[in-house]
Amino acid sequence: MDGFKVSVVVPAYNEQESLRALVDKLVPILSKYNNYEVIFVDDGSTDRTIEILETLNKKNERLCYLSFSRNFGHQIALKAGLDHSNGDCVITMDADLQHPPELIDDMIEKWQQGYEVVYTLRDDVQNVGWLKKITSNLFYKLMSKMAETKIDRGAADFRLMDKVVVNVFRDIKESPLFVRGMVSWVGFKQFSIKYIPDKRYGGKTKYSVKKMTSFALNGITSFSIKPLRLATLLGMSISGLAFLYGFYAVVMFVFTNKVISGWTSVACSVLLIGGLQLLMLGIFGEYLGKLFMESKNRPTYIIKKKKL
């Protein structure tokens, strides 16, 4: 098979246990295609990841790498890999072998049939922890309610993109970036493949609860301003209720003489309204913060070392 080049982008953050096993599986598959490159993006790892990448590159120069000056996060690592790839199609996948490399052949076949994006959906019956299942379900539910951009449930960052789509991505300077949403947003002819994730090959998940929360918040606030509208709607309904209650209070004051009791209701409503106000301020802050970060126009990532 010839005539085209396949690029594979693999973000790796402290993946010393998995890298060799991944390469052992990946290279035989990619060797079927005449021309390929694998770009590992070392996302500021503190273990031996970079040394392993250097050794791999010495043995096989098609195994290239970029190394960040610090941990910038999975999504930015994906972006850096896409920016530096030069294949006719680019496949992104995790380093921990949860994304079965065997699927690459199917992806390329679909691409040759004319699809510009071939993405995968995780069929999470097994091999995925319960916490991940619950949080991921919740996230996709919220996302589909809130955002105009539709993201299929279980969409993974394991996908093939044609170089036309990758070029579009190169021009996107948005930060923080939510790749999954962006892929859906750019359009093009897309095809989805279901897959069953394997168990993580080695090491631990790099997505802590903290990282997942920020991933979810970024995802929603990058593609929707509905939470801001929610603030307005809630504000309006609370004001409506407050007006009615105020009216009731005045009536009670004018027409009866039992006004002093009722500390509980005052305390409860003050607490409730205080809490809601803080929540709404938080939502506002989330967007304002995004604007602030974007306005500084800093580079999305910093590369310390690269071998391409």
Residue 99 C-alpha from the chain's centroid: 16
Residue 207 interacts with, from Mg ion, ligand UDP, none (CB under 5-8 Å by kind): ligand UDP
Of residues 7, 16, 92, 98, which one binds Mg ion by CB under 5 A? 98
Of residues 17, 42, 43, 96, which one binds Mg ion by CB under 5 A? 96
In the shown chain, the binding pattern of residues 221 to 260 toward ligand UDP, with x for contact by CB under 6 A and - for none, equals: ----------------------------------------
Contact between residue 276 and residue 238 where contact means Cβ atoms under 8 Å apart: yes
* CA torsion, ordered 105, 120, 162, 290, to nearest 10 deg: -150
Residue with tokens 């390329």: 108
Q: What is d(CA 148, CA 237) in angstroms, rounded to the nearest whole number?
A: 24
Is residue 15 involved in binding ligand UDP (CB under 6 A)? yes
**Could you tell me which stretch among 29-37, 178-186, 201-209, 230-238 binds ligand UDP (CB under 6 A)?**
201-209
> Least separation, in Å, of the C-beta of 213 and ligand UDP?
13
Burial of 254 (C-beta count, 10 Å sphere; 0-12/13-18/19+): exposed
Q: What is d(CA 172, CA 167) in angstroms, rounded to the nearest whole number?
A: 9
Is residue 67 involved in binding ligand UDP (CB under 6 A)? no
- C-alpha closest to that of 129 among 205, 180, 230, 57: 205
> Least separation, in Å, of the C-beta of 136 and ligand UDP?
9
Quick one: 12 or 39, whose CB is closer to ligand UDP?
12
Residue 273 C-alpha from the chain's centroid: 33
Quick one: 133 or 307, whose CB is closer to ligand UDP?
133
Of residues 95, 143, 179, 220, which one binds ligand UDP by CB under 6 A? 95
- DSSP state at residue 61: T
**Could you tell me which stretch among 5-13, 109-117, 251-259, 269-277 binds ligand UDP (CB under 6 A)?**
5-13
Is residue 205 involved in binding ligand UDP (CB under 6 A)? yes
Q: Which residues pair with 257 in a beta bridge?
A: none
Is residue 40 involved in binding ligand UDP (CB under 6 A)? no
